[in-house]
Amino acid sequence: MKKSDIKTLDDLKEYLTEYCKENPEDDCCELVRGICEKNGWIYTGDSVLNYEDEDFATDGEDLLSLMSDGWHIFQGNGVDMDYKGRDITVREDAENYYVDFCTGLDEGIYPKADWDLALAIDDQANIYKEKKTDLPCTR
């Protein structure tokens, strides 16, 4: 597969599997960053979210990770984080942050062009406070 043929995370997984066999010393970071930029995906190393070290790219739905046995794609449920003692989940794609306080109210969608992550979380916290719903997180 050629780099120019990459259109999905599955394609990227296939490409990187071949690439890493041919270039075992390359950590692939700059390569993946460039491919993500071209395809409108998030290179996790550049994100304000704290992804796991083995995570490399997300398209907002799925996550490409390098595990000990090779490249894998996982469902991207977001990053779990603590907000003032409460567990929340945040995920992102190229355009939006999705902030979920796990209350059953669903997630708030915040365009990155208009919101930074901290303000988006604070806004969703205010909505949560207004609704006073406290259901367990089902993620």
Tokens 């719903």 sit on residue = 133
Which residues make Cβ contacts (< 8 Å) with residue 79, sequence separation at least 6? 49, 50, 51, 89, 90, 91
**10 shares its domain with 71:** yes
Residue 139 belongs to a domain: no
Task: Provide Rg for the chain, Cα atoms.
Answer: 17
Residue 127: the pLDDT is: 81
Q: Contact at 8 Å (CB) between 79 and 50?
A: yes
**59 shares its domain with 35:** yes
Which of 17-21, 25-29, 66-70 has the lowest average pLDDT? 25-29
**9 shares its domain with 39:** yes
Identify the domain boundary among 28, 55, 75.
75
**51 shares its domain with 114:** no
Residue 11 belongs to a domain: yes
Number of structural domains (the chain) is 2
Q: How many helices (H) and strands (E) does the chain have?
A: 3, 8
Mean confidence (pLDDT) of the chain: 91
The span from the CA of 87 to the CA of 113, in Å, is 25
Residue 25 belongs to a domain: yes
Q: Which domain holds residue 122?
A: 79-131
What is the average pLDDT across 112-129?
91
Residue 21 belongs to a domain: yes
Residue 136 belongs to a domain: no
Sorting pLDDT into bands at 50, 70 and 90, what band is 105?
confident
